Each structure stands twice: as structure tokens, then as C-alpha cells.
Amino acid sequence: MVLPPQIILLGEIPMLENKFNKFLSLPEVKFIKKRNLTNHTIEFEAIKQSTFEVCPKCATKSYKVYDHVYVNIKDTPIRDKQVFLKIRKRRFKCPNCSSVFREPVQGIVKGFRSTQRFRSHIRWCASNFTDLKRVKDKCKCSTWMVYKAYYEQLNLEVKKLDYPWPKTIGIDEHSFVRNTKTHFKEFATIFVDFNNDRVRDVALGRSYDELSNSHIIDIKGRENVKNVVIDMSSTFKKFARTHFPNATITVDKFHVIKLFNHHLNTIRIETMKHRVFEYLKRVEPLQ
């Protein structure tokens, strides 16, 4: 009996192995063995698959394996089980400068004993859990590790956000809190990156002096900005003219319509007060 092709495909173990590796493994690493160390700890033995490595000292390709070493790397837990990767790393000998070096693995920073995704997992736990003990219990690591990974990951995110001005930006104000002493609303100015659909930066205050003395003017690439979208505020117009010299200033459609509606409504109310309408209001119920 000949089975339909899909049944044969489902039964193919290599395909499942590939999926398993793709789902759990790091980009360049292949799992070759799984071991349960305890009821709550899993170990995956893994190897890196590449034909050559590049010498970190002289950037020469090396194909010659010198020897092997095992490294134990902590990875993101699977459900409640701790995961360790036991990676069999090759050490290469450079044909040019004869130095011996270990192959790097994508997803593990040199010298670190845990994967980047595990450190990112700690950062997620530290942001979402209410106390440090829960983070420690969930990630099975020390307080020191939680602090280290948390601030390291935050720094990485800050670096990602630090890029020059895009081509099109928007400037708008936003009130977020009322001052407890003066009872006036406090304002912040938001700079929107329209090219990437995200907030680029926020500055406290909304006056020209506050914005000119803020960190906003330190962001590089002000001359790259070609379009600045603002409301009808003269402060933002002055700020955009001074600090974004190559930009065309556009007034946001939303603010124009809002202003138009306000005037239209004022005229409507005034018109309705006219004596003709007052008369009609009185006679209409009789008809």
C-alpha cells in the first residue's frame, strides 16, 4: 500500500529535528543530545556548524581545528525547567598569526555564561514582577545577576533608540500631571518619528527656552529633517525654524479642522440667537 505523500513527510524525523532546533536553538548552533540532569533541569548538548572561523586578531580565515572545549551556558527556562546548553566549542589555529582562538557563537556574548535571550528574559521578569524574590525564583539566579542583566539590557535598549533625526518628525505638547504646589498643569513636548511610527523623544516643558536648553538639540542630524509637522503653536514654529533649517513646516490637518470647527460652532450659536430664529422657535410649536 502506498501512503499519501503528507503522511510520509510527517513521519520524517529530520524535518522534526530541524523544527526543534529552529525553535529552541541559537541561530548557528545545532542540538545533538538532550539530558535531564534533575527533575527541574534540562541540558542540551550542542555544536556549532560552520566550515571556517575568522581569526579575531588578523581576520584570516581558519579551517584548522586545534582542539575542543566544553562550555556550560545558561539559557531561557522552558516552562519551569532550567535549561543549560553544553556547547562543544572548537578552537581554531590561525594559519597567519598562529594564535589559537575559540569559535564565537551568535547569541552569546564573549566571556558570558548565559545567553542573550536568557538575560533578556531576566529583564522581562524584572519589569513585570512585583518583587525581586519572584524574579530570582523564576530565573533561578542571584540578585547580582538580576541587577546586572536588567541594567545591561536597558542600556542596550537605550542604544537602540539613540539614532539621528529621521526625515519627517512631528512636535506636539502633552499634559501629564498637575503641579501639587502651583496646581497648574505640567506639559511635556513629544517629538514623533513619523518614518518609524514611534515617539523619538520627550522633553519637559513646552516653551521655546525650555526646548532650546533640553537634550533635544543634542540629537544629531537636525539638518536631515525635511518635514516638521506641528499644531498652530507659534513656539513650535519658531523652534522648528531655528533648529531644523532644511525642514518644511506643515500644520497638522487635525488641528486645522479643530480650529475651523470651533469657529463654525461660535457662528452657529450667534446665528441661532438672531430674532428671526427666536420668532420661528415661538411660532413653530403652534403649527
Number of helical (H) and strand (E) elements in the chain, helices listed first = 9, 12
Give the integer Cα–Cα distance in Å for 244 and 226: 8
Least distance from Zn ion to the Cβ atom of residue 175, Å: 60
Contact 47, 30 (CB under 8 A): yes
Residue ranges of alpha helices (H) inside 129-252 are 132-139, 143-161, 208-212, 234-243
Q: Which is nearer to Zn ion, 96 or 266 (CB)?
A: 96
What values do phi and psi take at 86, rounded to 5?
-100, 100
Q: Which is nearer to Zn ion, 55 or 228 (CB)?
A: 55
Give the integer Cα–Cα distance in Å for 50 and 65: 11
Q: Which is nearer to Zn ion, 59 or 177 (CB)?
A: 59
Cell numbers at 4, concatenated = 499519501
Least distance from Zn ion to the Cβ atom of residue 52, Å: 12
Residues 6 or more apart whose CB falls under 8 angstroms from that of 250 comprise: 227, 228, 229, 230
Provide the binding-site residues for Zn ion, judged by CB under 5 A. Answer: 55, 57-58, 60, 94, 96-97
Q: Which is nearer to Zn ion, 54 or 71 (CB)?
A: 54
Least distance from Zn ion to the Cβ atom of residue 3, Å: 54
Least distance from Zn ion to the Cβ atom of residue 157, Å: 34
Give the integer Cα–Cα distance in Å for 148 and 213: 33
Q: Which is nearer to Zn ion, 94 or 126 (CB)?
A: 94
Least distance from Zn ion to the Cβ atom of residue 29, Å: 24
